[in-house]
Amino acid sequence: MSSISALERTVNKVLTQAEQDLITKIDSAYEESLTNLERSKTNLRLEYDKIVQGARKQAENLKRQIVGSSRLASRNKQLVIVETAVNDAFEMAKKKLESSAKEKSYSSLINNMLKESISAIGSNEVIVECNKRDTDLVKRSISGLSKENIKAKAVLSEKTINVIGGIRMRSADGSMTYDNTLDSRIERLKPLIRKNIVQMLRGEQ
């Protein structure tokens, strides 16, 4: 009887020890699982933050691209409007100057252009070019130069040029040329016209 009791005690002791070892292992595994879970949560949170931060940067880059494209498109549109307005003003000026060729003031303008061009060329002999419509008017102006004590000899070229009006002059030896046509004068005014239109668009006038 006593031997059986001793055996039972021994078995119970072994079972109790095994049970404690198992419980300890379970507790240890549980604690390790909690630690791993917390570590995983931290890693996941870091990964999440990285993803969110990356998405924000991407969104900001996209926003800057959209804004930049919009500004560029707006600027390009403004440039097109300005150039269109300049060209329209240029065409209006052409038509107005073409019609002014019939006025008496145009004859005075041609005289002044001749004197101005002779002074600019600085040659004793010059050749004058003009369009076909102004031929007779330029001839009369050239013949009247002597009355104004202008010593330079001016000859009208038989070759006409395709311009709105005014004259183009060159020295007899061809070394100097002076473009005093209405076309070149308008062309020189283009930057000023463009500046005025830009100021108007910005509300500065």
**183 and 107 fall within a common domain:** yes
**123 and 180 fall within a common domain:** yes
Residue 111 to residues 4, 76, 106, Cα–Cα distance (Å): 147, 43, 9
For residues 131 and 138, what is the distance between their CA atoms, to the nearest angstrom?
10
Listed residues 100, 119, 143: the one ending a domain: 100
Residue 39 to residues 28, 34, 140, Cα–Cα distance (Å): 16, 8, 103
Encode pLDDT of 10-65 as tens digits.
666 666 676 676 667 666 766 766 676 666 666 666 766 676 676 567 667 766 77
| Per-residue pLDDT, 114 | 93
Number of domains making up the chain: 2
Does 204 map to a domain?
no
Does 205 map to a domain?
no
CATH number reported for the structural domain that contains residue 107 in this entry: 3.30.2320.30
Please give the mean pLDDT across all residues of the chain. Answer: 77
**110 and 176 fall within a common domain:** yes
Rounded mean pLDDT of 77-103? 70
Encode pLDDT of 112-139 as tens digits.
999 999 999 989 999 999 999 899 999 9
Work out the percent of the chain whose per-residue pLDDT is above 70: 61
Does 203 map to a domain?
no
**72 and 137 fall within a common domain:** no
Does 109 map to a domain?
yes
Listed residues 64, 84, 100: the one ending a domain: 100
**84 and 167 fall within a common domain:** no
Q: Structure tokens of 12?
A: 């119970």
Range of the domain at 43: 1-100
**158 and 179 fall within a common domain:** yes
Rounded-to-10 torsion of CA 170, 105, 90, 169: 0
**16 and 56 fall within a common domain:** yes
For residues 7 and 22, what is the distance between their CA atoms, to the nearest angstrom?
22
Work out the percent of the chain whose per-residue pLDDT is above 90: 24
**109 and 188 fall within a common domain:** yes
Listed residues 100, 128, 153: the one ending a domain: 100
**71 and 108 fall within a common domain:** no
In 3D, which of 203, 128, 119 has the Cα closest to residue 169? 128
For residues 157 and 167, what is the distance between their CA atoms, to the nearest angstrom?
11
Q: What are the start-end ranges of the H helices in the chain?
A: 2-100, 104-121, 135-143, 182-201
**95 and 1 fall within a common domain:** yes
